Amino acid sequence: MAEPQAIHLSDYRPPAYRVEKTELTFDLDPSTTRVRTRLHLQRHPEYGEDAALTLHGHGLTTERVAIDGQALLESEYRIEDDQLVIDRVPAEFVLDTEVVIDPANNTALEGLYVSGPMFCTQCEPEGFRRITWYPDRPDVMSVFTTTVIGDRQRQPVLLSNGNPIERGELPNDRHFVTWEDPHPKPSYLFALVAGSLECVRDSFTTMSGREVALELWVEAPNLEKTDWAMASLKRAMTWDEEAYGREYDLDLFMIVAVDDFNMGAMENKGLNIFNSAAVLANPQTTTDAAFQRIEGIVAHEYFHNWSGNRVTCRDWFQLALKEGFTVFRDQSFSSDINSAPVKRIEDAALLRTLQFAEDAGPTAHPVRPDHFIEISNFYTLTIYEKGAEIVRMLSNLLGEETFRRGSDLYFERFDGQAVRVEDFVDVMAEVSGEDLTQFMRWYAQAGTPQLTARSDYNAEQRQLTLTIRQQTPPTPGQEDKQALHVPVRMGLLGADGEPIKLVINGESNGTDTVLHLREAEQRWVFDDVDEGAVPSLLRGFSAPVRLDYPWSRDELSHLMRFDEDGFNRWDATQRLALIAIEEMMVAHQRGELMALDARLIEAFRHLLREPTDDKAVLAEMLRLPSEAWIAEQQTRVDIDAIHGARRAAIEQLADNLFAEFESVYHANQQTDAYAPTPDQIASRSLRNVALSYLVANGEPEALNMARAQYEADHNMTDVRAALTLLAHSDRADLGDPAIRAFGERWAHDSLVMDQWFATQVTRPQADALERVRFLMKHPAFSIKNPNRVRALIGAFTQQNRVNFHRLDGQGYQLLADVVIELNRLNPEIAARMIVPLTRYHRLDEQRQKLMRGELERIRKEELSRNVYEVVEKALA
Ligand code: BES
Ligand code: ZN
């Protein structure tokens, strides 16, 4: 097998031929679907008549190729390396092709495939080439007409993009529907769905008064889980009109739920396809977290209609142009309709644990990469989450109003075009008059910038000097980094807790300001500052950076109580807890008694007795830093010490504050009927955090409270929280019956069974790995379904660090076995699942050796491009 080659951004050339119009006919059959394609092609003026026509295709059985109605001989074209090349073609012509594909055996779930009783497609980024010969690149935009022919019984519903323009009956109990999408689009936005589906209908009146029909298509048993997604969709449509002035542009908007899906959801024009886990919800089966996630994903895909579809990407190196912007848009939407500070805490926590880890590992890459082997590997936290942070920084830098003028101009100027990151940033520079040259480095440089801040107080002059240095560590292929433009939002708190007026160089700035760090080191002098002022830095997580500042524990307690910025109150709590846990880790390593810092206990006591924050934020403050975030702080990661110390900290908080947690638990009892409203979610979140501490205390009384909550069976949020506590306790007499009962009750619902799998394999006890092996044989598990794989294997390898990193190497071996199997079945999922095995660089020698050994074993296989790229980087 030839080594897969990298593709470089610098090699970009515009397409030689444009597709004016695409006409497709699908004759559906599970194992032999026939696709007839008619392309109206036109040579790009920059190219001459010697420009060959090159089309992409993968796994196609080609039955006919014709130009202007004339069938070509096999000698008149070439098929090699997934390309069909015709050396000489007219300047303008019609190309007909006919191919046969096999959806039933498409386990990669890219292109046209079968999921349960239905046919569906996934074309982003390069799935369309598995359907037909085509210039499968996002800068080729065409209008599409699609005829779908299916079985009247088995596929009564035949869907594609746009509007249905014709339907009719055919011989042999077949029928067809023809769809027309008037908006030019790249092939990655093509979609087709066929099967026996039920529909929930609603409608939306746009701001200009147009009626849009909304349709949500699901398999019949899921009809009871559609309300939330439909309501979310309407909220998203309203929000995009209000916040961005964006109106929907077709008469019909459809969402379809499918069970086998590699990602969460896909923004196909007029026909969004969703992983059923990302759209179906009801109170009995779905947790609060899942309700909120669904709301966010429905909004995200809908928002792509403008940020992605009307204005798309020139090439896949520009992926963050649509994903970063759209994630920022969905974050703003969720923040507007739920608890804004909690949304910010969640997004920042995700970024700084998982994206920072990506930045620190072998697959680190810039938000706009300059080369890749397999683009599917680049749907990463860096592209999505860091990409969104860059847009957020722009919005903060320019101010909301100017940013909105910029986005209006962007959508107007580039409507119907395929553009680059520069086009977006240039528009923002144009409307604001800002020089964003240095800012562009955020897109080009990989790695997490490290800020080191120090303050120096001069009592005589009553001046505080703040010095901030920045440095971005080297990442693979990028040794030297330049200084970035980093917005640092900050304030100063007086010793009395009051905010201090910020006077910088004689200029007054209120009590909250943004410092623009542009140099490797910069200094700011604050006048009129009394002794004992405490800096609050990087408020609202104003830039995706690490920040080091030598806050004392007293100063952190002070920030926890008095900072006006909710995010920094939370961050101060995390920092205070981290110091205490790190101290206990040292004790753990020395085999000494681990005693929790009394100041943390007192700080928590204060939080519980005199809560100043809303419940949602309070619940977040009470959660100790995750094992992943603690690990992020260590130069050498000690898996067992992190787990042991964190666990001991929780137990000691529970012992010391049992009564406080108990009263919070009782005070937050819900009496209203379940609804995923921000208020109710906040109460449940706080109550369940309290319950987790109570159970950690180990009193039988607390476990009985968990059991009672489980048995009360009010809603999945409370049931799942209680079930997790029971199943993760040492009390098998309580955990096992609950697990058994839950598994029996929900055997018919695969999405609930996924929660059941994940709950069991995230147990901290030593038998977790054996449970994974056992559950892989469970009838509800299938290695071919990505949701099952994520629920069982993903949850174990990503959320059960002590057991995945077992010193006997069995966790690594298990993951390698799964990756080897998935490499053949579904390379995209294989390359995602392998990631925990590549994060060995800061572990102990023994684990490093074991992990590398498993990677070497995988390397001996015949690898997909996806897995090949990740393994090569990991072993480099
Ligand atoms: N365009 C993506 C879906 C996608 C990603 C398709 C990668 C093919 C390959 C979609 O807009 C998306 O980003 N979905 C996210 C959810 C979103 C809320 C961040 C997903 O699927 O996880
Ligand atoms: Zn997206």
Would you say residue 254 has pLDDT above 90?
yes
Statement: residue 704 has pLDDT above 80: yes
Tell whether 713 is covered by a domain: no
pLDDT single digits (tens) 624-648:
999 999 999 999 999 999 999 999 9
Q: Give the CATH number of the domain where residue 835 resides.
A: 1.25.50.10
Where is the domain boundary, 426, 443, 460?
A: 443
Ligand nearest to the CA of 296: 1
pLDDT of 506 > 90? The answer is no
Backbone angles phi, psi at 261, to 5 degrees: -155, 130
Residue 670 confidence class, pLDDT cut points 50, 70, 90: confident
Give the model's confidence band at 13: pLDDT under 50 very low, under 70 low, under 90 confident, else very high: very high
With residue 491 as reference, give the H or E element that holds it. strand 486-493
Parent domain of 629: 551-697
Q: pLDDT digit string (tens) for 294-323?
A: 999 999 999 999 999 999 999 999 999 999
Inside any domain, residue 203: no
pLDDT band per the 50, 70, 90 thresholds, residue 2: confident
What CATH number did the domain enclosing 529 receive?
A: 2.60.40.1840
Which residues contact residue 433 at a Cβ distance below 8 angstroms, ignoring those fewer than 6 apart? none
Do 26 and 146 share a domain, yes or no? Answer: yes
CA distances from 463 to 161, 370, 400, 514, 533 (A): 64, 46, 33, 19, 10
Q: What are phi and psi of 471, to 5 degrees?
A: -160, 130
- pLDDT-derived band of residue 679, with 50, 70 and 90 as boundaries? very high
- Residue 225 forms part of a structural domain: no
For residue 494, tell me if it sits in a domain: yes
User: Distance between CA atoms of 406 and 419, rounded to whole angstroms?
Assistant: 15
Does residue 745 belong to any structural domain of this protein?
no
| Nearest Cα residue to 757 out of 741, 780, 736 | 780
The answer to the question of residue 853 being in a domain is yes
124 lines ligand 1 (CB under 6 A): yes
- Residue type at 502? L
State residue 671's pLDDT score.
Answer: 86
Q: Are residues 371 and 477 in the same domain?
A: no
**Residue 233 lies inside a defined structural domain of this protein:** no
Domain check: are 328 and 377 in the same one?
Answer: yes
Residue 391 has pLDDT above 70, yes or no: yes
Pair (595, 485) in one structural domain: no
Structure tokens at 701: 């009384």
Q: Which helix (H) or strand (E) holds 70?
A: strand 70-71
| 295 Cβ closer than 6 Å to some ligand 1 atom | no
Average pLDDT value for residue range 780-784: 98
Q: What is the pLDDT of residue 1?
A: 57
Q: In this structure, which residue's CA is closest to atom 7 in ligand 1?
A: 379
Ligand nearest to the CA of residue 272, numbered in listed order: 1
- Residue by residue, DSSP assigns 81-104 as TTEEEES---SEEEEEEEEEE-GG
In residues, how long is the chain? 876
Shared domain for 623 and 608, answered yes or no, is: yes
**Cis status, amide bond into 125, omega within 30 of 0:** yes
Position 503 in a domain: yes
Contact 263 CB / ligand 1 (< 6 Å): yes
Q: Which residue from 509, 527, 507 is spatially nearest to 463, judged by alpha carbons?
A: 527
Please state the pTM of the whole predicted model.
0.98
**Do the beta carbons of residue 367 and residue 383 sit within 8 Å?**
yes
In this structure, the answer to whether residues 179 and 163 fall within a common structural domain is yes
Residue 476, judged by CB atoms within 10 A of its CB (0-12, 13-18, 19+), counts as middle
Ligand 1, atom nearest to 265 Cα: 21
Same domain for 559 and 545? no
pLDDT given for residue 587 in this prediction: 98
Mean pLDDT, to the nearest integer, of 232-255?
A: 98
316 and 424 assigned to the same domain = yes
Q: Does 301 participate in catalysis according to the annotation?
A: yes
Confidence of residue 326 (pLDDT cuts 50, 70, 90): very high
Mean pLDDT, residues 179-207 taken together: 98
Q: Answer for the pair 302, 326: CB distance below 8 angstroms, yes or no.
A: no
Give Cα 517 distance to the centre of its chain.
29
CA proximity to 525, closest of 499, 500, 539, 506: 506
* Rounded Cα distance, 281 and 423, in Å: 39
**Out of 592-596, 669-673, 757-761, which region has the weakest mean confidence (pLDDT)?**
669-673
- Cβ of residue 786 lying under 6 Å from some atom of ligand 1: no
Number of structural domains in the chain: 5
Among the listed residues 301, 385, 632, 660, the single catalytic one is 301
Per the prediction, the chain carries an average pLDDT of 97
What secondary structure does DSSP assign to 516-564, as a single string?
EE-SSEEEEEEES--TT-EEEESGGG-SS-EEE----HHHHHHHHHH-S
Q: How far apart are the first and last CA of the chain?
A: 20
Residue 142's domain is classified under what CATH number?
2.60.40.1730
Q: Which of 146, 168, 196 is the last residue of a domain?
A: 196
Of 427, 443, 459, the last residue of a domain is 443
Atom of ligand 1 nearest to the CA of 267: 11
Say if residue 366 is in the same domain as residue 456.
no
Are 243 and 251 spatial neighbours (Cβ–Cβ below 8 Å)?
no
Mean pLDDT of 417-435: 98
- Tell me which residue of 585, 540, 586, 536 sits closest to 556, measured CA to CA: 536
- Pair 119, 178 in one domain: yes
User: What CATH number is given to the structural domain containing 378?
Assistant: 1.10.390.10
CA distance 415 to 427: 13
Report helix, strand or coil for 436.
coil
Q: 329: Cβ below 6 Å to ligand 1?
A: no
Give distance in angstroms: CA of 440 to centre of ligand 1.
Answer: 24
The verdict on 165 and 191 lying in the same domain is yes
Q: Is the pLDDT of residue 125 over 90?
A: yes
Give dist(CA 606, CA 125) in Å, integer.
51
Instruction: Looking at the structure, tell me whether residues 55 and 187 fall in a common domain.
Output: yes
